[in-house]
Structure 1
Amino acid sequence: MTEATADLEHYSAQLEAAAARLDALPLHRLDTETSMLKEAFDLVYDAGVFAFHRYASDLHETMKFRLFTTLAPRSGSLAFLAIQILAANKIMHVNRFTQLDTYLAKRCGIAINHLRAPVTVVSATQQNGAYRLNGRLTWASGYGIFDTLVVGFHCEGQEFQAVVPFEPREGFTLGTPTETFVGNAMHTVDVVLDNYEVPQEHIVASHPLGTYTKNKSVSKTIHYALYGIGLGAVDVLEDEEVRCAAGARLEAVKTAFLATKNGEELDRLRIELFELVQQIVTTGMILYGGRSVLSTERLQRYYRELVMFNANGLNNALKRLHKQAFFSALESTH
C-alpha cells in the first residue's frame, strides 16, 4: 500500500466515523436551527475532516469529492459551511500566513467574493501599521458557528486578505440574519465596517488588484455538492425502476465531470447535473405523495438545497447557459 493510499484510507475512515455520528442527529433541523447546525459542524470539525493541510496537496481533490458526497446528502447547510472553511484555510495556507497554525486551529469562515466585483466594495487606509476598513461585507455565513473570517479589501492599488474575529465590536456592526427559504440556520449576515481596525499581523496577503479573480481556478465543488444531493435523493426513492434509471444517469454525469478540466464543459455539465437532480427529486416527491412535504422528509429539503447550491457562484456564462437550456426545453415540447 502506498503512502497516498494509506492517507486516503485514513481520511475516509475519519469521514465515515463522523457520518455515523451525524446520522444520530435530527438532520432535518440543521437547516433551521443554528444550535443544531453548530453541533453538527463542531462534530465534523473535531473529527479532523476539514484539516486538508495534514495531507499531501495532490490528495485534496479526491478528499473534497468524498467530503461533499458524504455531507451533502445529510445536510446542505453543513456542506455549505464546509465550502467556507475549506476556502478560508486554503487562502491562509497558499499565502503562507505567518499565524497559519493559530488560525487553522479556529473555525474560520470567509467574506471575500466581493473582490471579484469591478468596483471597490471594501476600502482601507493604512495608519500607524494598521488598516482601517470601510464598506459592507455581504453574505457572511456562519455567525455563531465560525470564530473568525477571512475578509477582502482594497488599499492603495492592492487587494488584501486578512483574518478578523467574527463578532460585533467597534467598527464591525452585524446586520440581522438574512431570512431565506433554505439555510436559515447558517445565520448569514451583512457586516458594516466603519473605520474597523485590522492590525498588520492579521494580514494574510496582498496582491495587485484583480489577482483573486485571475487566480480563481476551475472548481468542481458545486458539482460535488449537487451530485451528493442526487445520491441522497436516489437513496430515498421507493420505485425501483425509477431508482435504477436515476442512479445510472447520475453516475454517468459524475463520470463526465470527474474526467474533465475544461471550464466550458464543466459549466454545461453543472446545468445537466442540476436539471437531472431536480427531476429525480421532483419525481420522487410525486411518487411518494403528499407526505413528501413534511419537514422530516428528505426530498423536500433536497429540493430547497439544490436551488441553494445552484445559485452559488453563478457567473454570466452560466446564466446564459441556463437561459439557453430553458428555451431549448420549451422548443422540445412543441
Structure 2
Amino acid sequence: MTEATLGLEHYNEQLDAAAGRLDALPLYRLDTETALLKEAFGLVYDTGVFAFHHYAAELHEQMKFRLFTTLAPRSGSLAFLAIQILAANKIMHANRFVLMATYLNRRCGIAINHLRAPVTVVSATRRCGTYRLSGRLTWASGYGIFDTLVVGFHCEGQEFQAVVPFKPEPGFTVGEVTETFVGNAMQTVDIILDNYDVPEEHIVASHPLGTYTKNKSVSKTIHYALHGIGIGAVDALEDKEVRRAAEKRLEAVKNAFLSEKDGAELDALRVELFELVQRIVTTGMILKGGKSVLLTEQLQRYYRELVMFNANGLNSALKNLHKQAFFSTL
C-alpha cells in the first residue's frame, strides 16, 4: 500500500468512529438544540476528521466527499458547521498563517463571503500594528460552538483575512440569533464591528481587492451535502420499488458530478441533484403518510435541510438555472 492509501484508510477509520458516536445521540434534536449540536460537533471534532492539514493534499477531495456523505444524513446542521471549519482551516493553512498551529487546534468558523460584494462591507484603518475594523458581518454561524472566526475586511486598497475571538468584546457586538425554519441550533448571528481592534499578528493574509472572488475555485461541497441528504432519504424510503429507482438515479448523478470539472456543468448538475433529492424526499413523505411530519421522522428534516444547503452560494447563474428548470416543467 502507498502512504496515501494508508492515510485515506486512517481517515475512514476516524470517520467511522465519529459516525458511531453520533448514532448514539438523538440526531433529530441537533437541528433545534444548540447544546446537543455543540456536543455532537465536539464528538466529531475530537476524532480529527476536520483536520485535513494532517493528510496529503491529493486526498482532500475524497475525504470531503466521504465526510459529507457521513455527516449530512445524520445532521444537516452538523454538516453545515463542517463546511465552516474546513473553509477557515484551509484559509489559514493556504496562507501559512504564523499562528496557524495554535488556531488549527481551535474550533474556528468563518465570516468572509462579503468579500465577494462589489462594495466594501467591513473597512479598517491601520495604526501602530493594529487594525481597527468597522462594519457588519452577516450570517455568522456557530455562535457558542466556534471559539474563533476568520473574518474579512478592506484596508488601504487591500482585502484582509484575520482570526478573531467569536465572543462579545468592546467593538464586537453579537446580535440576536436569527430565527429560521431549519438549523436554529447553529445560532447564526450578525456582528456589528465598531472600531474593533485586531492585532497585526492575527492577520492571516492580505491580497489585492477582488482576489477572494477571483481565486474562488470550482467547489463540489454543496453537491456532496445534497448527495449525503439523498443517501439518507433513500435509506428512509419504505417502498422497495421507489427505493431501487431512486438509488439508481442518485448513483448516476453522483458519478456525473464526481467526474465533472467544468463549472457551468457542475451548476447544472447541482440543480438536477437538488430536484432529484427533493422528489425522493417528497415521494417518501407522501407514501409514508401523515406520520412523516413528526419531528422524529427523518424525511421532513431532510426536506428542510435540502432547502438550507441549496440556498447556500446561489449566484445569478444558479438562480437562472433553477428558473429555467421551473419553466421546463410547466
Q: TM-score, normalised by structure 2?
A: 1.00
What RMSD over aligned residues (CA atoms) do the two structures have, in Å? 0.3
Deviation at 1:252, TM superposition (A): 0.1
1:27-82 per-residue CA deviation (whole Å, 9 max, x = no partner) reads 00000000000000000000000000000000000000000000000000000000
| Aligned residue type for 2:191 | V
**Number of aligned residue pairs:** 330
| Aligned residue type for 1:239 | D
* Aligned equivalents of 1:84, 1:210: Cα separation in 2: 21
For 1:284, the equivalent position in structure 2 comes to 284
* Aligned equivalents of 1:134, 1:238: Cα separation in 2: 53
Deviation at 1:309, TM superposition (A): 0.1
User: Which secondary structure state, in structure 2, belongs to the residue aligned with residue 219 of structure 1?
Assistant: coil
Deviation at 1:128, TM superposition (A): 1.2
| Aligned residue type for 1:302 | Y
For 1:134, the equivalent position in structure 2 comes to 134
* Aligned equivalents of 2:24, 2:129: Cα separation in 1: 49
Structure 1 gap ranges (5+): none
Matched, 1:69 2:62: no
1:233-283 per-residue CA deviation (whole Å, 9 max, x = no partner) reads 000000000000000000000000000110000000000000000000000
For 2:203, the equivalent position in structure 1 comes to 203
| 1:54-133 paired onto structure 2 within 5 Å | 54-133=54-133
User: Which secondary structure state, in structure 2, belongs to the residue aligned with residue 142 of structure 1?
Assistant: coil
* Aligned equivalents of 2:21, 2:172: Cα separation in 1: 36
| Aligned residue type for 2:323 | K
* Aligned equivalents of 2:97, 2:217: Cα separation in 1: 20
* Aligned equivalents of 1:244, 1:101: Cα separation in 2: 47
For 2:261, the equivalent position in structure 1 comes to 261
* Aligned equivalents of 1:259, 1:129: Cα separation in 2: 47
For 1:310, the equivalent position in structure 2 comes to 310
Matched, 1:230 2:234: no
| Aligned residue type for 1:305 | E
Deviation at 1:176, TM superposition (A): 0.2
* Aligned equivalents of 2:153, 2:329: Cα separation in 1: 42
| Greater than 4 Å deviation, 4+ residue runs | none
1:132-171 per-residue CA deviation (whole Å, 9 max, x = no partner) reads 0000000000000000000000000000000000000100
* Aligned equivalents of 1:224, 1:2: Cα separation in 2: 26
Q: TM-score, normalised by structure 1?
A: 0.99
Structure 2 gap ranges (5+): none
Deviation at 1:6, TM superposition (A): 0.9
User: Which secondary structure state, in structure 1, belongs to the residue aligned with residue 329 of structure 2?
Assistant: helix
* Aligned equivalents of 2:100, 2:106: Cα separation in 1: 10
User: Which secondary structure state, in structure 1, belongs to the residue aligned with residue 177 of structure 2?
Assistant: coil
User: Which secondary structure state, in structure 1, belongs to the residue aligned with residue 150 of structure 2?
Assistant: strand
* Aligned equivalents of 1:87, 1:218: Cα separation in 2: 14
| 1:173-192 paired onto structure 2 within 5 Å | 173-192=173-192
For 2:17, the equivalent position in structure 1 comes to 17
* Aligned equivalents of 1:21, 1:196: Cα separation in 2: 39
User: Which secondary structure state, in structure 2, belongs to the residue aligned with residue 118 of structure 1?
Assistant: coil
* Aligned equivalents of 1:288, 1:108: Cα separation in 2: 40
| Aligned residue type for 1:163 | V
| Aligned residue type for 2:103 | Y
| Aligned residue type for 1:316 | S
* Aligned equivalents of 1:176, 1:329: Cα separation in 2: 40
* Aligned equivalents of 1:281, 1:305: Cα separation in 2: 11
For 2:241, the equivalent position in structure 1 comes to 241
* Aligned equivalents of 1:329, 1:113: Cα separation in 2: 33
Deviation at 1:220, TM superposition (A): 0.1
* Aligned equivalents of 1:18, 1:84: Cα separation in 2: 18
* Aligned equivalents of 2:231, 2:260: Cα separation in 1: 21
For 1:164, the equivalent position in structure 2 comes to 164
1:175-210 per-residue CA deviation (whole Å, 9 max, x = no partner) reads 000000000000000000000000000000000000
For 1:48, the equivalent position in structure 2 comes to 48
User: Which secondary structure state, in structure 2, belongs to the residue aligned with residue 110 of structure 1?
Assistant: strand
| Aligned residue type for 1:187 | Q
Deviation at 1:2, TM superposition (A): 1.1
For 1:35, the equivalent position in structure 2 comes to 35
User: Which secondary structure state, in structure 1, belongs to the residue aligned with residue 17 of structure 2?
Assistant: helix
| Aligned residue type for 2:117 | A
User: Which secondary structure state, in structure 2, belongs to the residue aligned with residue 180 of structure 1?
Assistant: coil
User: Which secondary structure state, in structure 2, belongs to the residue aligned with residue 314 of structure 1?
Assistant: coil
